[in-house]
Amino acid sequence: MLEQSWNLFKTVHAKQYSSISEELQRRDIWTKNIAKIQAHNLEADLGLHTFTMKMNKYGDLSDEEFRKTMYGLKTDQRIEKNFDRHTFIPPSNIVLPAAIDWRKEGYVTDIKDQQQCGSCWAFSATGALEGQHFKKYKKLNTLSDQNLIDCSGKYGNEGCNGGYMDSSFQYIKDNKGIDTQDSYPYEARDGDCRFKAENVGANDTGFVDIKTGNETDLQIAIATVGPISIAIDCQHDSFRFYSSGVYDEPQCSTSMLDLAILAVGYDTINGQDYYIVKNGWGKSWGMEGYIWMSRNKNNQCGIATLSSYPLV
């Protein structure tokens, strides 16, 4: 049975290995991951978890390999004094909707796949700007993550080795725009800057930081502004193999953040509050590329620790 599953895994995810010894090593990692997933799902069936897990294309990677290629948030960057930074001031006397999903309003582009490149920060930044550009101009442009990877190095970003959303927003402001994905396609590797002003798909005039750790402000921002760039701790098998349901990981850190993603809404199910979050790991991960992250659970996974959006 396991042999059959392994062969299916290799076929579905087009896995090819350079030698028998490498395949044995990969299969060993995969077998351990299958066991973890099955054990978790048995417990979920008994009501011990609010989410399920599933095998995906990352099942044969070691933790170290996965960390090196699939994360990419750099939180140690200093925000320069000359950055056009503002602080979010929540509007007063606002009645928040019980639920919001910006995908239904046309603010959100298709799921992207960062592949083996630590470019989550670029995906998060373009996602927030795509939403704000749509809000102002009623036109949804898919923006070039590769443009940020190749061109924003002077702002502290390091391409596939990581970066930061606010630095990206500042680059876009100073650069007078960012190209569309069609004109500057994604390559999942560092390259030379090939920005062309005639291909600009959106621009910004600075950015707004939401008060760190404040989930109320984050919820208000999602409800009143649109999709928001956020960052989380994702270094758990439960996140790597997340399948469906409300993600609740007690081991999550509120400060050790390593993945930048995009909050596109929020809702409640069976009394559990959650954020609707867009990831950049392709449609085969999670729920067609999305995850429901726990909301109002003491800033679980640091979801409100580092959130911002661009001004358009």
Residue 23 domain flag = no
H or E segment at 310?
strand 308-310
Residue 13 domain flag = no
H or E segment at 239?
helix 237-240
For residue 283, what are the CA distances in angstroms to 21, 110, 279, 297? 31, 9, 9, 27
Residue 16 domain flag = no
Total structural domains in the chain? 1
- Residues 214-225: tens digit of each pLDDT: 999 999 999 999
pTM (2 decimals)?
A: 0.95
Residue 295 domain flag = yes
Distance in angstroms (rounded) separating the CA atoms of residues 275 and 124:
15
Distance in angstroms (rounded) separating the CA atoms of residues 178 and 203:
6
For residue 43, what are the CA distances in angstroms to 48, 249, 285? 5, 14, 21
Determine the Cα angle at 112 with ends 102 and 53, to 5°: 85
Question: Tell me, what's the pLDDT at 81?
Answer: 61
DSSP state at residue 166: H
Could you list the pLDDT tens digit for every one of the 312 residues in the chain?
788 999 999 999 999 999 999 999 999 999 999 999 999 999 999 999 999 999 999 999 998 888 877 888 887 655 566 788 899 999 988 899 999 999 999 999 999 999 989 999 999 999 999 999 999 999 999 999 999 999 999 999 999 999 999 999 999 999 999 999 999 999 999 999 999 999 999 999 999 999 999 999 999 999 999 999 999 999 999 999 999 999 999 999 999 999 999 999 999 999 999 999 999 999 999 999 999 999 999 999 999 999 999 999
Residue 24 domain flag = no
Looking at 46-183, list the stretches that DSSP marks H as alpha helix, in order from N- to C-terminal side.
63-70, 120-137, 145-151, 165-175
Residue 42 domain flag = no
Question: Tell me, what's the pLDDT at 17?
Answer: 95
> Whole domain around residue 181: which residue ranges?
53-311
Residue 34 domain flag = no
**CATH number for the domain including 93?**
3.90.70.10
Question: Tell me, what's the pLDDT at 77?
Answer: 56
Question: Tell me, what's the pLDDT at 72?
Answer: 81
Helix (H/G/I), strand (E/B), else coil: 221: helix
Residue 9 domain flag = no
Question: Tell me, what's the pLDDT at 79?
Answer: 58
Q: Extract the tokens encoding 135.
A: 């809000």
